[in-house]
Amino acid sequence: MGKFSDSIQEAHSRFIAHQKMFFVATAPLAADGHINLSPKGLDSFRVLSPTHVAYLDVTGSGNETSAHMLENGRITFMFCAFDGPPNILRLYGTGRTILPGDAEWDTYMSHFPEQPAIRQIIAADIYKVQTSCGYSVPLYDYTGERDHAIKWAEKKGPEGLAEYRAEKNVTSLDGLPTALAGKL
């Protein structure tokens, strides 16, 4: 059933590009720490090479992924086929946060559309790819993207977003600092 590879193959890239949603999982080193599992959308994921990916991360109520990247770098991405043939694809990697103003920001940002809710980019080096059957994943019809994050960010404006991030995005649920800590 499950198949493994040490890099993203062309068929994997096509599958990823077709998906409208993916999931990101990270965890702190502490055994009693909060595991993070977040759904993502908005055409925000890019395969940059067979072993390197990135996604555009928008402002949200927490910033667990960034905190975990800073602490230990472990990250897993999961894509599920909600239409067409059943399939699940996982990417296992080591990630990091790239912030506006970082030397690599413009290079990474060139792969994504501009939008007002942008907080950071999460980039990851992939060392293992796994596919599995996905036979029990239900079929769903894609009807479009939600525009709530964009409208919310436009209403807040740049200053409001900076204040919100300073209040909600500089530490994790477990008190770990994020890449934004000290930069806002």
Residue numbers of the chain with a pLDDT score lower than 70:
1
pLDDT reported for residue 173: 95
The 8 Å CB, 24+ separation contacts for 47-51 are 47/8, 47/12, 47/13, 47/16, 47/17, 48/111, 48/123, 49/8, 50/7, 50/8, 50/9, 50/126, 51/6, 51/7, 51/8, 51/125, 51/126, 51/127
pLDDT reported for residue 176: 97
| Residues 94/74, Cβ–Cβ less than 8 Å | yes
As its CATH architecture, domain 3-135+144-168 has Roll (2.30)
pLDDT reported for residue 1: 63
pLDDT reported for residue 184: 76
pLDDT reported for residue 49: 98
